[in-house]
Structures are given as structure tokens and as C-alpha cells.
Copies of this chain bind each other. A is one copy, B any other.
């Protein structure tokens, strides 16, 4: 019975997440309990900050968050989603992976969060958005690098982060980038960022750079990270074949993610 109450609250939360809105009457009918019980559940979930109460029902807070996240991703988010899905499929149970900052890796974090069947994965991240996505994912062990929070990129940099990285290693590292270049590697706004990226990549068995087509061949900024010998570029199908050939010629493995559904 106590179990039933917990599962019902979880279910309420899930329904509210998917539909964004739930009424007391509907919930009462769906779970075959009195409206009083539903009300009590809702007040509970509200004080836990997971829902907001409305007149006659409740509204999801997390759903709004995800919506705004999608907005923030905004640009090319279908491509990013496809890339994230491809990346997710590389991860195997029990592995320790590094998640870089950036919107594409945040999409990967969302994939990790929603696939609760993957067990024992430890995700190390320097990105705040990725952390937020995984904060409530019980099936993922989240390790955060410390350091100064860089407001613009919403990720950590600095000596604290570097010190933290130097104490661990990763099965796979999924890197974001402002732009990717076949010869120069990945480009960021500051050298602090590229240095941290280099450290992470040095300590990873497999390095993947997640970058949708628009980021290829650009030189948005002038700080470049030295790439490891072997790495994989993961991009979407709209990428220019000529550009991709430049990567392949340099020994970079290229993966094309296909959007589905």
C-alpha cells in the first residue's frame, strides 16, 4: 500500500511531465482514488518543487524547463538530437564517460536521462546544463568537475577543474565545440577552455567530437585544442562531403547521425 502511493506519485509526475497539465478529476478517475488523495499527492509534489498547483489540477515545472531547453538549443536541434542519439548508443553499461559543456552534449545528457535501462554509467561533466539534466537521474552516477563557472558557456573552467580531471580517466569523452577544423582541431573562445578540453581528451580511450554540420570548417574564434591521434567526428547528414573528406584524409573517423522519427 505504501508502495502503491509512491508509484502513483511517480506516475502522476510522469503524466504531468508528458501532458504538461493534469486535473484532479482526471487523476482521480485514472487511479481510482478520491480527489482528496490526489490533492494530497499534489501538495506533496508541490512542496518538493516538482509541480505547481493550479485551480483544479497541477502543471508541470520540468516540462517547461525542457521546453526552454529546447528553445535554447533552438538552432539545428534536430541534428543535435540525432547526433546525441548516435553518441548515446556508443555508451555501454558500467562505463565512465566525460561530457563536455555545450548544447549538443546537453542533448546527450537528455538521452542518458531518459534511458533508464542503461545501468552503472558514471558521467563526468563540466557543463551546468548537462548536470541539471542528470541531477534527478538515479541510474546515472554524476561526477562534476569543479572550477570557475563561466557564465557564457555555462561550464566550468580553471585550475580546479583541471586538477579534478587529472585524477581520473574515461572510457569515452564526448566533446562539444564552437567550431571544428580538419587541421586545427576544435575551436573555443578562450584558451582556458581548450586547455581543459585537451586534458579531458588526453585521458579518454575514445574521443568523440559532437558538432552539427554548420560548425564544420569554421573558425569562430582563435583558441584551438590540440587533438589526440585518434578521434571521431560525429555530425549530421547535411554536412558537406568535401569537408568530411578533409577529416577522413587526416585519419579522423567520421560518423553521420541519421535523424529518426
Please indicate the chain B residues that have their CB under 8 angstroms from the CB of A36 in the complex: none
Q: Give the complex CA separation of A52 and B74 in angstroms.
A: 10
Please indicate the chain B residues that have their CB under 8 angstroms from the CB of A46 in the complex: 73
Please give me the residue from chain B that is nearest to A63 by CB atom. Answer: B64
For the complex, is A233 an interface residue (Cβ under 8 Å from B)? Answer: no
B149 touches A142 (CB 8 A): yes
Partner of A144, one of B55, B63, B74, B144: B144
Shortest CB distance A25–B (Å) = 15
Partner of A154, one of B75, B128, B135: B135
Please indicate the chain B residues that have their CB under 8 angstroms from the CB of A55 in the complex: 53-55
Q: Of residues 98 to 146 in A, which have CB atoms within 8 Å of B's CB atoms?
A: 128, 131-132, 134-138, 141-146
Tally of A interface residues using CB under 8 Å: 47
Query: Copy number of this protein in the oligomer?
Result: 2
For the complex, is A156 an interface residue (Cβ under 8 Å from B)? Answer: yes
Q: Give the complex CA separation of A231 and B242 in angstroms.
A: 66
Shortest CB distance A152–B (Å) = 9
Q: Give the complex CA separation of A63 and B167 in angstroms.
A: 37
The 10 closest A-B pairs by CB, nearest first: A146-B146, A49-B70, A142-B149, A63-B64, A146-B164, A145-B146, A144-B146, A55-B55, A54-B54, A52-B59
A-B contact pairs, 20 of them (CB 8 A): A46-B73, A47-B73, A47-B74, A49-B73, A52-B54, A53-B55, A64-B66, A65-B66, A128-B132, A132-B132, A136-B151, A142-B151, A143-B147, A143-B148, A144-B148, A144-B149, A144-B160, A145-B146, A146-B164, A163-B164
